[in-house]
């Protein structure tokens, strides 16, 4: 699947599956308030697992913010929040819905994380339910960019689904692409479509790559392989 197919899918996702595309656990008929509440709950779980440092004196960049579900929750805990996403329609929705003065949103190209403003730095780079859509090369580039954007002592905190890709997973990708081609946009509560291919990144590869870039990997934790959190610090 090409990067442009992925961007195209995400860009259409609001029209095709609604807010449900942000998180399958959000009811497809769910309200904006329910979406924000789910973001607060997801962030609270992330904080309890990762022990991520927060504070009103800190700035956070969120990769793959979508419509701003977790961005709003991050605004309650950080002084400044920048959400970036590849899908212009999602960023537009996020901007229209945003009620926090400390929050801003930008479209990124999906290749580099280059916020507008040459001197942008942050204390935390955060991402939830995004980075397993990136292949090794793209993910490595994002890690390198995060390292440059972070201040010394800053944290890169991100979620990955680390379940290995099995034959059944591949068949499921194909099946979902076929359903989408037939006009079926959701199956068993999951959106279909080519833009939803997941990549597997092993713990060994993550540790090696992050360490090579200069990070200190602090922890890789989570209740199961689908909900793994990685905390890496820029020394």
Residues that bind ligand SAM (CB under 6 A): 6, 10, 22-23, 63-66, 69-70, 85-87, 90, 108, 110, 128-130, 133-134
Minimum distance from CB of 60 to ligand SAM (Å)?
Answer: 13
CB of 152 to ligand SAM, least distance (A): 25
The dihedral of CA 176, 90, 81, 111: what is its sign? positive
From start to end of the chain, where are the E strands?
55-63, 78-85, 103-107, 122-127, 150-160, 186-187, 190-191, 216-221, 228-233
**Cβ closest to ligand SAM, residue 153 vs residue 223:** 223
Give whichever of 23 and 218 is closer to ligand SAM, judged by the CB atom: 23
Kindly tell me which of 52 and 70 has the beta carbon lying closer to ligand SAM: 70
Print burial letters for 158-188: b (CB count within 10 Å at least 16), e (below 16).
Answer: bbbbbeeeeeeeeeebeebbebbeeeebbee
Two tokens, residue 188: 């068993």
Q: At its nearest, how many Å lie between ligand SAM and the CB of residue 235?
A: 26
CB of 92 to ligand SAM, least distance (A): 12
* Pick 93 or 235: Cβ nearer ligand SAM: 93
């Amino acid at each position: 699947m090409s990067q442009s197919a992925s961007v195209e899918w995400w860009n259409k996702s609001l029209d095709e599956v609604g807010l449900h595309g942000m998180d399958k656990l959000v009811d497809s008929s769910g309200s904006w308030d329910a979406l924000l509440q789910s973001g607060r709950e997801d962030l609270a779980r992330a904080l309890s697992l990762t022990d991520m440092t927060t504070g009103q004196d800190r700035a956070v960049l969120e990769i793959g913010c979508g419509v701003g579900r977790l961005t709003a929750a991050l605004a309650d805990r950080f002084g400044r929040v920048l959400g970036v996403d590849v899908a212009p329609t999602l960023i537009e929705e996020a901007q229209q819905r945003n009620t926090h003065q400390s929050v801003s949103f930008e479209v990124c190209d999906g290749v580099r994380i280059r916020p507008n403003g040459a001197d942008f730095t942050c204390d935390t780079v955060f991402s939830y339910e995004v980075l397993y859509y990136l292949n090794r090369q793209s993910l490595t580039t994002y890690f390198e960019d995060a390292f440059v954007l972070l201040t010394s002592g800053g944290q890169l905190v991100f979620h990955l689904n680390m379940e290995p890709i099995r034959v059944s997973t591949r068949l499921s990708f194909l099946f979902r692409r076929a359903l989408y081609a037939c006009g079926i946009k959701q199956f068993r509560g999951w959106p279909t479509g080519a833009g939803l291919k997941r990549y597997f990144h092993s713990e060994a590869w993550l540790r090696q790559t992050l360490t090579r870039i200069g990070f200190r990997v602090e922890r890789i934790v989570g209740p199961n392989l689908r909900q793994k959190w990685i905390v890496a610090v820029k020394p």
